[in-house]
Structure 1
């Protein structure tokens, strides 16, 4: 009886591993959009405060936008990570920098949500030979609060 159960278990395990190979093959092409700044990645991410941008979202999401005055951004990371990287604010984990009474880093409660609302952008090219007949997924890991993707 034990040998029969062991045989059935091994048979099912083998079948599942063979069946899953097709799923894994579809996901072999992967492009990770990690920033050059802070992570030594391959992509130049930039950020700018949403209130300082006059262009429409559909224009910001094109390659025609001039983003030369945008700050380098840390991706993956938060708005505060990037602001600290650009020396706008001091490192919050050093000393008492993040203490409310220090008034060195604006608190979301007092500053308001718009204060930390930023556009992040980068440009990348999809290989048509790989993506022409397939679905393309954009998986965004680590969104801190919420995001609109254009």
Structure 2
């Protein structure tokens, strides 16, 4: 009789300890404010808990699903990121750099800088295809 009372109790304890927030996943919005006045916005999930990145950079990063799943590397109070961007049938390389502020686990970038290089189907840069501007990043 004692065995049958302790097993449900242990199962209940394991169930309760498994019920917690999803590791700080929150919805964030990123906006690219181009110098020519265009705005490109995307909303995605950000894992606010830092993870270690050891392949090319031995430090901390946060993972986000905005613009094709990026890692924002945390370097000297800045987010640094590079990756592919596909928008309106175009393919390009996006480079982001911006100082972030952190309140609790929430990150905010108000005045970051970016560079976008549009490429052709062979990977060559298009003529006059380097676009620059500012970017913002905030929790929704």
Instruction: Give the number of the structure whose residues are more often helix, by fraction.
Output: 1
TM normalised by structure 2 equals: 0.26
Structure having the higher Rg: 1
Structure with more relative contact order (C-alpha pairs < 8 Å, separation 6 or more): 1
Please give the TM-score of this superposition, normalised by the length of structure 1.
0.25
User: Could you say which structure has the higher strand fraction?
Assistant: 2
